[in-house]
Structure 1
Amino acid sequence: MKEIIKEEVKKKILEKFNVDIEVNVDEPPKIEMGDFSVNVAFRLAKELKRNPKEIAEELVKDLKVEGVKEIKVVNGYINFYLDYEIYGRQVIGEILEKKSDYGRGEKKEKIILEHTSANPNGPLHIGHLRNAIIGDCLKRILEFYGYEVETHYYVNDMGRQMALVVYGIEKFGLDKEKKKDHAIAEVYVKINKYLEEHKEEEEKISELMKLYEESLEKNEENEITKKFEFAVNYALEGIKETLKNLDIEHDKFVWESSYVRNGLVKEVIKRLMETGKVIKEDTYLLSLEDFGIEKKMVLARSNGTSLYSTRDIAYHLDKLRNADIVIDVLGADHKLTAEMVKAALKLLGCEKEPEIVFYEFISLPEGSMSTRKGRFISADELLEEALKRAKEECEKRNVSVERDIALGSVRFNIAKVSPEKPLIFRWEEALDFEKVGCPLIQYAHVRASSILREANDSESLNFSYNLEKEEKELIKMLDKFKEVIKESAEKRRVHILANYLIELAKKFNKFYEKCPILKSEYKRERLALVKATKIVIKNGLNLLGIKAPERM
């Protein structure tokens, strides 16, 4: 309805004043003041040098909007009062007709979305968890909005960290009793400690990296490449198991070494050298001063081996050639690197650039983590704790959907916070059944399911009676779902949808408390509201990768 009001007001402004101006449609603080309000007369007053009240009154003189019963001017504001007999029938009718497709968009572009991409030197920790959950929710929302989305996990198999793991496996072996990514982490911690005490062996790590890259450039399969591939795949098996437990799947695992094998890294270095922006010191440095970046980008070591940054440019070049839009989900500590990659791509003549969704750090109240020192909270431990705590909460309430609640609580508690904000993961918030947690939304779905099971009538869309305030607010909130999907998809922000679902659950609970359903003379109309709410909650939770249980 907001979009319809906006378009009709814009048309009327063009017709009466020949001015093209953006119109914002807001909701007044109280429904008695109208369902929607427009303040455009105040902005037009400056341009037309007229009183805003006069402008507003002239605009509404013959303004008609389908589904609006009355339009009033109050102190320059234009307030719209909906005709719920028409509006309710339109909104609830559309939801009941479209069901799981309600809110779906029709975008056609292809997106390559990269997320998680943790180094395969240990298990995913809670920092990676924020990346993975933002990325997976975003994928679901973008696909629902109509985009073709291909998700990538970019595998860093060529860095020093993997050389350390390969050397560590040779020296210490692997604990075959442990989950594979945890066994790799154990080796990684051991080898770091060992090298602190045996610094003379550092050369062996550099030599391993050099031999691996030389083998890749020649496209050879030998003992070195097999050792690296074994170590990386061993870690990835454990990581994939964790992702599966989070209901997260990637379409492709793209190894950075593939760009050394296919020659794209060499092509990138050659083309950047030809720009005249490369300086040779101890390493090859790319000057990016023309882009306002003071720090130089290291392109290659003096021995000719490439660096992560160069391989990352090659990877982005490949993605940009194969998609309309490229999106990366990255920690805030990657901001400078991301700007450097964008600048290098411009030097290479790329007209497009990747979009970056940056997120701030996540921690537990206990504090920070370090994989190198073996001080971290793994995603596996967090999920295990979530299951334990969810089981305790379920036993208190005599319900048995602990996995749905545990996984939903972890995913939702991360998804609901804007990525720009640091996040401390608190269990009391995640498992909150009353105010801010996912169980509140899941329980609203269960309540709706229970009402519909108990009812023996079909629903009706005849909203011709005087609706209660709670019914009006619920209908408006259900209508807002399409707008929320659009905003979440176009702004690449999953917290918009998550916070909407909390508000929807609260509106539904108020409606349930204030408006009798099964014993009401408006039973069939209110059942339609219940059914529509159930559909929208389930659609929204699905887009956050969360189950909507039928019973609790």
Structure 2
Amino acid sequence: MFIAFRDEVADALSGALSGAGYPTDDLGIEQPPSDVPAVLASSVAFRLAGEAGAPPPRVAGEIADAIDPDSLTYVDRVETQGPYVNFHPSEAYFDATLSAGQDESFGHLDPRRESVVVEHTSANPTGPVHVGRARNPIIGDAVANVLDFAGYDVERHYYVNDAGRQMAVFTWAYETFEESELPEPERDRAEYEMVRYYRRGNEFLEEGPEAEVEAAEAEIAAIMQGLEEGDEATYERVSEVVDRVLSGMHECLLRLPADFDEFVKETRFIRDGSTDEVVDRLQDLPESVYEEDAWQLELSEYGIEKNLVFVRSDGTSLYTTRDLAHHEWKFEAFDRAVTVLGEDHKLQADQLRAALDLLGNDVSQLENVIYSYVNLPEGKMSTRAGTGVDLDDLLDEAVARAREEYEKRAEDRLREDDLTETDVERIAEVVGIGAVRYDIVSKQPTKSITFRWDEALDFEAQSAPYVQYVHARCCGILDEAGEAGAVPEEPPDASTLDAPEERELLLTLARFEGVVERSADELEPHRVATYTRELAEAFNAFYRECPVLRADGELREARLALVRASRHAVANALGLLGVAAPDSM
């Protein structure tokens, strides 16, 4: 209902300003401070004071007087507070919110008929996903979820680096060393088995006999050249390694869960000739120079001092060269292209955008979400020597700690829950992994974060378990009332919900679709996380002050409808963040 309210306010303001002869290009609509009970306010009087020759409060009063609330559906009254024009909700606003909340799709926006490809993770297929990179799939998946919920046609892509030196080294090592020469894999999964070859190969290249290293380097160069020339046999050799490693990495990411519609290999853009075509066009640009035995692009006009090298001295292309062809393919197939990148890729992203612009592309189609990395406090997790902390390690520990917390809380309650071992494992998985995802996605991407277990798994504070418990509580109330899956035959009436806590919860529920819209527009899913905490606080205040099952008649039905709407909002908001909403905890 928030969007309908906002649109109605915009129309009313435009009419009032136009009638008074004022311009309507900037209405100054914003959400007022939390201590102001209005849904929206306008600061337009500040802008018009000079033109009107009157102080802002007088201009605000003139605007408010020109708006007739009786002609509006969702606005009950228009008042001024100093220079602000405040718009207060009508009973129809509360009724519409409560009614909309009975639908499981509550908060979902209308289709926009605009396609978006979200590329995220895209970690090189050289071994297990490291915890430092965990922010990429978590943010990327949440961005894609929010865009999808906001009405966009979304595809999720993983861009696979299968043409660089790393993959040539990996392929050579896999074909060279015997498994008997390798240590035991750290886990029984493909990427852990395969990474042993990669590590052994790099050790050999650093420490092996000079003549043998030279021979190995020649073979590695031949693999890279074979890929560049589109040699089918070379491609199949490399693909065997890439596909096996990628299958294991995908299994890890599914634990989050983060899934993909397509794994797009960069060799695709070598084999179809599009990389060569991009190179030809780049070489024809006036910004193109041949220096230090390599073709480079001067980008100083874009404020970028470092040249973009797009062809090496041996005639092979680079990752960014192939990525240019990749992005031109995305621009043809989709209306928008969103890429989630670590902060260490910012220069490369700037070079890519500048080169795409020079090649004649509409770079407004391209949007980047840049994030800082995840750190872990020293000594808080065991680290395998020389390998760092893998994402699997973090998720395993999250589940184990969630189970410990559950068992501790059950002991504190001095009772045994009527749950099977399978139930306990399910709850630990949902709460533990949900805590990791929520804690990471709830922070602004550009801010560096240190993951702390005591904060992530705090059932009493601003964390995933705190919000998940609200969903479980809603389910418990509806189960006890025998209305777990019920949908009212008649639209619920919000008029009986006049307690301050009931009104505040309705107002918070009404904001959900506005939060979805802004999160999608600004590619900032952390706004949804902030909203879930506000919603949980509003629900808990309602739960403390407004008995549901002990209420009678219409009040009981209205409160059950409010619980149902809260359950749908919490479930959908958590779903946007990739966090499960358990029925019990």
Pair in the same fold by TM > 0.5: yes
Matches within 5 A, 1:71-82: 71-82=78-89
Range moving further from structure 2, 64-73 or 446-455: 64-73
Task: Say which SS state the counterpart of residue 429 (structure 1) adopts.
Answer: helix
Where in structure 2 are the equivalents of 1:353-392 lying within 5 Å? 353-366=365-378, 374-392=386-404
* Aligned equivalents of 2:33, 2:110: Cα separation in 1: 28
Match of 2:58 in 1: 54
TM-score where L is the length of structure 2: 0.88
Task: Please tell me whether the aligned partners of residues 5 and 25 of structure 1 are also in contact (alpha carbons under 8 angstroms).
Answer: no
* CA drift at 1:116: 0.6
The match for 2:506 is: 475
The equivalent of 2:164 in structure 1 is 159
Unaligned runs of 5+ in 2: 411-416, 418-423
Aligned mates of 1:277, 1:206 — CA distance in 2: 33
SS in structure 2 of the partner of residue 99 of structure 1: coil
How big is each residue's C-alpha offset from its partner over 1:425-459, in whole Å with a ceiling of 9 and x where there is no partner?
11112111111111111110111111112226886
Partner of 2:45: 41
Identity of aligned residues (%): 37
SS at match of 1:391: helix
Distance in 1, matches of 2:267 and 2:482, equals: 62
Aligned to 1:530: 563
Counterpart residue type for residue 372 of structure 2? E
Question: Which string of whole-angstrom CA distances, capped at 9 and with x for unpartnered residues, describes residues 189-226 of structure 1?
Answer: 3333332223735544553444234433554332x433
Q: Which residue of 2 aligns with 1:221?
A: 232
Deviation per residue, 1:14-66 (Å, 9 max, x gap)? 222332123223234325x5454333222321332212222122212242142
2:318 is equivalent to residue 304 of structure 1: no
Q: Deviations over 1:458-487 (max 9, x none)?
A: 867333347122111111110100101101
Residues in 2 aligned to 1:424 and 1:313: alpha-carbon distance in whole angstroms: 34
Q: CA distance change for structure 1 residues 325 and 490 in 2, over 3 Å: closer, same or farther?
A: same
Instruction: Give the AA of the match of 2:560.
Output: L
**Aligned equivalent of 1:239, options 245, 249, 267:** 249
Give the equivalent residue in structure 2 for 1:190: 200
Question: Which of 88, 103, 111 is matched with 2:94 structurally?
Answer: 88
Could you tell me which residue of structure 2 aligns to residue 464 of structure 1? 495
SS in 1 for 2:494: coil
Separation of aligned partners in 1, 2:215 and 2:521: 48
Measured in 1, the distance between the counterparts of 2:405 and 2:303 equals: 53
Check 1:303–1:37 CA distance in 2 against 1; reply closer, same or farther (3 A cut): closer
Check 1:508–1:273 CA distance in 2 against 1; reply closer, same or farther (3 A cut): same
CA distance in structure 2 between the partners assigned to 1:111 and 1:34 by the alignment: 35
In structure 2, the partner of 1:313 is 324
**Cα separation, partners in 2 of 1:262 and 1:35, compared to 1, 3 Å:** closer
CA RMSD of aligned residues (A): 2.5
Q: 1:372 to 1:537 in 2, by over 3 A?
A: closer
**Structure 1 residue 68 corresponds to structure 2 residue 80:** no
Change (3 A) 1:239 1:516: same
Q: How many residues align?
A: 547
CA deviation string 1:290-314 (max 9, x = no partner): 3221111111111111111211111
Could you tell me how far apart the structure 2 residues matched to 1:340 and 1:219 are?
A: 26
Alignment of 1:111-510 (within 5 A): 111-174=116-179, 178-198=188-208, 200=210, 203-204=214-215, 206-222=217-233, 224-280=234-290, 281-352=292-363, 353-366=365-378, 374-398=386-410, 400=424, 401-455=427-481, 461-465=492-496, 467-510=498-541
What is the CA distance between 1:319 and its match in structure 2?
1.2
- Does the Cα contact within 8 Å between 1:386 and 1:410 map onto a contact in 2? yes
SS in 1 for 2:511: helix
Structure 1: tracts of 5 or more residues without a match: none
Query: For 1:286 and 1:206, how far apart are their aligned partners in 2?
Result: 28
CA shift digits 1:354-401 (9 cap, x unpaired): 2111111111112999x9993321111111111111111122234621
Q: Who is 1:517 aligned against?
A: 548
- Quick check: 2:172–2:220 contact (8 Å CA) kept in 1? no
Letter in 1 for 2:330: K
Distance 1:208 1:488, change over 3 A: farther
Rate the CA distance shift 1:333–1:148 in 2: closer, same or farther, 3 A.
Answer: same
Contact 2:143 2:524 in 1 (8 A): yes
Greater mean deviation of Cα atoms: 159-168 or 186-195: 186-195
Which residue identity does 2:581 align to in structure 1?
A
CA shift for structure 1 position 122: 0.8
